[in-house]
Protein backbone atom coordinates (compact mmCIF):
# COMPACT_ATOMS: atom_id res chain seq x y z
CA UNK A 1 0.00 0.00 0.00
CA UNK A 2 1.05 3.59 -0.57
CA UNK A 3 0.65 6.16 2.18
CA UNK A 4 1.48 9.78 2.89
CA UNK A 5 2.91 10.48 6.32
CA UNK A 6 2.84 13.82 8.10
CA UNK A 7 5.31 13.42 10.93
CA UNK A 8 6.19 15.89 13.67
CA UNK A 9 9.91 16.69 13.38
CA UNK A 10 11.59 18.65 16.15
CA UNK A 11 15.32 18.68 16.74
CA UNK A 12 15.21 19.11 20.50
CA UNK A 13 13.05 20.38 23.35
CA UNK A 14 13.82 24.03 22.72
CA UNK A 15 13.67 24.11 18.91
CA UNK A 16 10.54 24.81 16.89
CA UNK A 17 8.89 21.74 15.39
CA UNK A 18 6.78 21.19 12.30
CA UNK A 19 4.91 18.49 10.43
CA UNK A 20 7.02 17.10 7.57
CA UNK A 21 5.44 15.14 4.75
CA UNK A 22 6.86 11.83 3.49
CA UNK A 23 5.57 9.58 0.72
CA UNK A 24 6.00 5.88 1.47
CA UNK A 25 5.23 3.31 -1.21
CA UNK A 26 4.82 -0.47 -1.19
CA UNK A 27 4.30 -0.73 2.57
CA UNK A 28 3.27 -4.34 3.41
CA UNK A 29 -0.27 -4.42 4.83
CA UNK A 30 0.92 -6.93 7.45
CA UNK A 31 3.61 -4.54 8.77
CA UNK A 32 3.02 -3.05 12.19
CA UNK A 33 2.92 0.73 12.52
CA UNK A 34 6.41 0.71 14.06
CA UNK A 35 7.73 -1.52 11.27
CA UNK A 36 6.32 1.00 8.81
CA UNK A 37 8.31 3.72 10.61
CA UNK A 38 11.37 1.44 10.46
CA UNK A 39 10.93 1.26 6.67
CA UNK A 40 10.70 5.04 6.49
CA UNK A 41 13.82 5.42 8.62
CA UNK A 42 15.81 2.99 6.47
CA UNK A 43 14.94 5.10 3.44
CA UNK A 44 15.85 8.33 5.24
CA UNK A 45 19.22 6.89 6.35
CA UNK A 46 19.98 5.74 2.79
CA UNK A 47 19.30 9.29 1.62
CA UNK A 48 21.61 10.66 4.32
CA UNK A 49 18.74 12.25 6.22
CA UNK A 50 18.05 12.22 9.94
CA UNK A 51 15.80 9.25 10.89
CA UNK A 52 12.62 9.91 12.86
CA UNK A 53 13.15 9.41 16.60
CA UNK A 54 10.40 7.41 18.28
CA UNK A 55 10.11 5.31 21.43
CA UNK A 56 9.55 1.55 21.44
CA UNK A 57 10.74 -1.48 23.36
CA UNK A 58 8.77 -4.73 23.63
CA UNK A 59 6.65 -4.32 20.47
CA UNK A 60 4.21 -6.72 22.14
CA UNK A 61 1.81 -4.30 23.83
CA UNK A 62 3.39 -4.82 27.25
CA UNK A 63 5.88 -2.06 28.07
CA UNK A 64 3.98 1.11 27.17
CA UNK A 65 6.94 2.76 25.44
CA UNK A 66 5.38 3.19 22.00
CA UNK A 67 3.31 6.29 22.60
CA UNK A 68 2.42 8.03 19.35
CA UNK A 69 -0.48 10.29 18.55
CA UNK A 70 -1.90 8.92 15.29
CA UNK A 71 -4.56 10.80 13.35
CA UNK A 72 -5.62 12.65 16.48
CA UNK A 73 -5.74 9.69 18.88
CA UNK A 74 -3.15 8.27 21.29
CA UNK A 75 -2.07 4.91 19.73
CA UNK A 76 -4.52 5.52 16.86
CA UNK A 77 -8.28 5.23 16.83
CA UNK A 78 -8.64 1.48 17.40
CA UNK A 79 -9.81 0.31 20.81
CA UNK A 80 -7.48 -1.51 23.21
CA UNK A 81 -4.55 -1.29 20.79
CA UNK A 82 -1.06 0.04 21.44
CA UNK A 83 0.89 1.62 18.58
CA UNK A 84 3.13 -1.46 18.29
CA UNK A 85 0.06 -3.69 17.94
CA UNK A 86 -1.51 -1.48 15.28
CA UNK A 87 -1.09 -2.85 11.75
CA UNK A 88 -1.04 -1.09 8.42
CA UNK A 89 -3.97 -3.19 7.17
CA UNK A 90 -6.13 -0.99 9.42
CA UNK A 91 -5.38 1.95 7.12
CA UNK A 92 -6.49 2.43 3.54
CA UNK A 93 -4.31 2.58 0.46
CA UNK A 94 -3.53 6.23 -0.33
CA UNK A 95 -4.37 7.42 3.20
CA UNK A 96 -2.61 10.38 4.80
CA UNK A 97 -1.54 9.55 8.35
CA UNK A 98 -0.54 12.28 10.81
CA UNK A 99 1.87 11.21 13.55
CA UNK A 100 2.60 13.45 16.51
CA UNK A 101 4.20 13.02 19.94
CA UNK A 102 2.28 12.99 23.23
CA UNK A 103 1.47 16.62 23.97
CA UNK A 104 1.34 17.50 27.64
CA UNK A 105 3.13 19.95 29.90
CA UNK A 106 4.35 17.04 32.01
CA UNK A 107 5.88 15.28 28.96
CA UNK A 108 8.45 17.60 27.33
CA UNK A 109 9.54 16.62 23.83
CA UNK A 110 13.04 15.12 23.59
CA UNK A 111 13.18 14.78 19.82
CA UNK A 112 10.63 14.27 17.03
CA UNK A 113 8.10 11.77 18.45
CA UNK A 114 9.98 11.01 21.68
CA UNK A 115 8.83 12.63 24.90
CA UNK A 116 10.21 12.52 28.42
CA UNK A 117 7.71 10.45 30.44
CA UNK A 118 9.83 10.24 33.58
CA UNK A 119 7.08 12.18 35.40
CA UNK A 120 5.17 8.88 35.51
CA UNK A 121 8.18 7.20 37.15
CA UNK A 122 8.27 10.01 39.73
CA UNK A 123 4.62 9.34 40.52
CA UNK A 124 5.44 5.68 41.16
CA UNK A 125 8.40 6.71 43.33
CA UNK A 126 6.00 8.80 45.43
CA UNK A 127 4.14 5.70 46.61
CA UNK A 128 3.25 3.25 43.86
CA UNK A 129 4.80 0.28 45.64
CA UNK A 130 4.58 -1.83 48.80
CA UNK A 131 7.50 -1.45 51.20
CA UNK A 132 6.16 -3.34 54.21
CA UNK A 133 7.50 -6.86 54.79
CA UNK A 134 4.89 -9.21 53.37
CA UNK A 135 6.71 -12.41 54.35
CA UNK A 136 7.69 -15.31 52.14
CA UNK A 137 5.57 -16.70 49.38
CA UNK A 138 2.36 -17.79 51.14
CA UNK A 139 0.53 -21.03 50.41
CA UNK A 140 -2.16 -20.65 47.80
CA UNK A 141 -5.39 -19.49 49.46
CA UNK A 142 -3.62 -18.65 52.75
CA UNK A 143 -4.67 -15.01 52.27
CA UNK A 144 -8.35 -15.05 51.29
CA UNK A 145 -9.17 -12.42 48.67
CA UNK A 146 -12.62 -12.37 47.16
CA UNK A 147 -12.79 -12.98 43.43
CA UNK A 148 -14.41 -9.63 42.67
CA UNK A 149 -11.57 -7.65 44.29
CA UNK A 150 -8.90 -9.91 42.80
CA UNK A 151 -10.32 -9.29 39.32
CA UNK A 152 -10.53 -5.52 39.87
CA UNK A 153 -6.94 -5.43 41.17
CA UNK A 154 -5.73 -7.39 38.14
CA UNK A 155 -7.61 -5.06 35.79
CA UNK A 156 -6.01 -2.02 37.46
CA UNK A 157 -2.58 -3.65 37.35
CA UNK A 158 -2.86 -4.09 33.58
CA UNK A 159 -2.01 -0.37 33.16
CA UNK A 160 1.26 -0.26 31.21
CA UNK A 161 2.04 3.37 32.06
CA UNK A 162 2.17 4.54 28.45
CA UNK A 163 0.73 7.97 29.25
CA UNK A 164 -2.07 7.81 26.66
CA UNK A 165 -4.52 8.91 29.36
CA UNK A 166 -2.49 12.07 29.98
CA UNK A 167 -2.10 12.76 26.27
CA UNK A 168 -5.83 12.25 25.63
CA UNK A 169 -6.93 14.53 28.47
CA UNK A 170 -7.52 18.18 27.62
CA UNK A 171 -6.24 19.01 31.12
CA UNK A 172 -3.19 16.72 30.89
CA UNK A 173 -4.42 14.87 33.97
CA UNK A 174 -2.75 11.68 35.23
CA UNK A 175 -5.76 10.67 37.34
CA UNK A 176 -6.39 7.43 35.44
CA UNK A 177 -2.76 6.34 35.78
CA UNK A 178 -2.59 7.18 39.50
CA UNK A 179 -6.08 5.78 40.08
CA UNK A 180 -5.00 2.46 38.57
CA UNK A 181 -1.77 2.32 40.57
CA UNK A 182 -3.54 3.20 43.84
CA UNK A 183 -6.34 0.71 43.14
CA UNK A 184 -4.12 -2.26 42.31
CA UNK A 185 -2.79 -2.14 45.88
CA UNK A 186 -5.85 -0.76 47.68
CA UNK A 187 -7.89 -3.77 46.63
CA UNK A 188 -5.45 -6.30 48.09
CA UNK A 189 -4.59 -6.97 51.78
CA UNK A 190 -0.85 -6.38 51.23
CA UNK A 191 -1.57 -2.84 50.05
CA UNK A 192 -3.72 -1.80 53.00
CA UNK A 193 -0.93 -0.93 55.46
CA UNK A 194 0.41 1.99 53.41
CA UNK A 195 -2.83 2.86 51.60
CA UNK A 196 -3.53 6.19 53.33
CA UNK A 197 0.04 7.44 52.87
CA UNK A 198 0.25 6.16 49.30
CA UNK A 199 -2.80 7.93 47.94
CA UNK A 200 -1.96 11.26 49.59
CA UNK A 201 1.66 11.22 48.46
CA UNK A 202 0.86 10.23 44.89
CA UNK A 203 -1.87 12.87 44.54
CA UNK A 204 0.42 15.57 45.98
CA UNK A 205 3.23 14.56 43.59
CA UNK A 206 0.82 14.60 40.65
CA UNK A 207 0.06 18.26 41.36
CA UNK A 208 3.76 19.14 41.79
CA UNK A 209 4.71 17.58 38.46
CA UNK A 210 2.35 19.76 36.44
CA UNK A 211 -0.40 17.27 35.64
CA UNK A 212 -3.82 18.88 35.34
CA UNK A 213 -7.04 18.15 37.18
CA UNK A 214 -9.73 15.70 36.14
CA UNK A 215 -12.92 17.20 34.72
CA UNK A 216 -14.63 13.87 33.99
CA UNK A 217 -14.54 13.91 30.19
CA UNK A 218 -13.67 10.15 30.22
CA UNK A 219 -11.27 10.71 27.29
CA UNK A 220 -8.64 8.77 29.28
CA UNK A 221 -10.85 5.69 29.52
CA UNK A 222 -11.86 5.94 25.86
CA UNK A 223 -8.24 6.07 24.65
CA UNK A 224 -6.53 3.74 27.14
CA UNK A 225 -5.03 0.81 25.20
CA UNK A 226 -5.61 -1.47 28.19
CA UNK A 227 -9.21 -0.48 28.85
CA UNK A 228 -8.54 0.90 32.35
CA UNK A 229 -11.84 2.10 33.83
CA UNK A 230 -12.50 5.54 35.34
CA UNK A 231 -13.98 3.70 38.33
CA UNK A 232 -10.33 3.55 39.47
CA UNK A 233 -10.37 7.37 39.66
CA UNK A 234 -13.51 7.26 41.79
CA UNK A 235 -11.87 4.67 44.09
CA UNK A 236 -8.78 6.87 44.41
CA UNK A 237 -10.91 9.92 45.25
CA UNK A 238 -12.76 7.98 47.96
CA UNK A 239 -9.47 6.72 49.38
CA UNK A 240 -7.97 10.20 49.28
CA UNK A 241 -10.87 11.83 51.14
CA UNK A 242 -10.97 9.09 53.78
CA UNK A 243 -7.19 9.30 54.26
CA UNK A 244 -7.24 13.11 54.54
CA UNK A 245 -9.80 12.91 57.36
CA UNK A 246 -8.59 9.82 59.22
CA UNK A 247 -4.82 9.80 58.62
CA UNK A 248 -3.59 13.11 57.17
CA UNK A 249 0.10 13.22 56.23
CA UNK A 250 2.27 14.77 58.93
S1 LIG B 1 6.58 -1.17 22.34
FE2 LIG B 1 5.99 -1.99 24.27
S3 LIG B 1 3.85 -1.58 24.38
FE4 LIG B 1 4.41 -0.96 22.38
Residue with CA closest to ligand 1 atom 1:
59
Regarding the beta carbon of 81 and ligand 1, being less than 6 Å apart is answered no
User: What is the structure's pLDDT at 86?
Assistant: 97
d(CA 105, CA 209) in angstroms, rounded, equals 9
* Share of residues in the chain with pLDDT > 70 (%): 100
Regarding the beta carbon of 27 and ligand 1, being less than 6 Å apart is answered no
CB 99 within 8 A of CB 5: yes
d(CA 125, CA 163) in angstroms, rounded, equals 16
pTM of the full structure: 0.93
Buried b or exposed e, range 78-97, using 16+ CB within 10 angstroms: eeebbbbbbbbeebeeeeeb
Ligand 1 pocket test target in 61, 86, 117, 224 with most atoms within 8 Å of CB: 61
Look at residue 67 and tell me whether its pLDDT is greater than 80. Answer: yes
Rg (C-alpha) for the chain, rounded Å, is 20
Cα 32 to Cα 61, 74, 82, 117, 167, distances in angstroms: 12, 16, 11, 23, 22
Look at residue 140 and tell me whether its pLDDT is greater than 80. Answer: no
Within the chain, which residue ranges are assigned CATH 1.10.1060.10?
117-246
Regarding the beta carbon of 173 and ligand 1, being less than 6 Å apart is answered no
Look at residue 101 and tell me whether its pLDDT is greater than 90. Answer: yes
Within the chain, which residue ranges are assigned CATH 3.10.20.30?
3-111
Ligand 1 pocket test target in 60, 67, 158, 161 with most atoms within 8 Å of CB: 60
Instruction: Tell me the CATH number for domain 3-111.
Output: 3.10.20.30
Ligand 1 pocket test target in 36, 57, 113 with most atoms within 8 Å of CB: 57
User: What is the structure's pLDDT at 151?
Assistant: 96
Q: Please tell me the distance between residue 83's alpha carbon and the centre of ligand 1 in angstroms.
A: 7
Fold of 117-246: Fumarate Reductase Iron-sulfur Protein; Chain B, domain 2 (1.10.1060)
Query: Per-residue confidence at 138, pLDDT binned at 50, 70, 90?
Result: confident
DSSP 103: -
Between 136 and 101, residue with greater pLDDT? 101
Look at residue 135 and tell me whether its pLDDT is greater than 90. Answer: no
Q: Across all residues in the chain, what is the average pLDDT?
A: 95
Query: Per-residue confidence at 11, pLDDT binned at 50, 70, 90?
Result: very high
pLDDT tens, position by position, 155-214: 999 999 999 999 999 999 999 999 999 999 999 988 999 999 999 999 999 999 989 999
245, containing H or E segment? helix 231-246
Amino acid sequence: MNITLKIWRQHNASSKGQLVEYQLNNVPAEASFLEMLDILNEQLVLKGEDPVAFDHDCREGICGACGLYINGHPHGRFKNTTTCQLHMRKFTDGETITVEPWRSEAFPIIKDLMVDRSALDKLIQAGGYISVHTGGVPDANAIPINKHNADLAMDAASCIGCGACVAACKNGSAMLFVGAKVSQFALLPQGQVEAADRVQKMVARMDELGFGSCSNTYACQAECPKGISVTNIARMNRQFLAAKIAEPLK
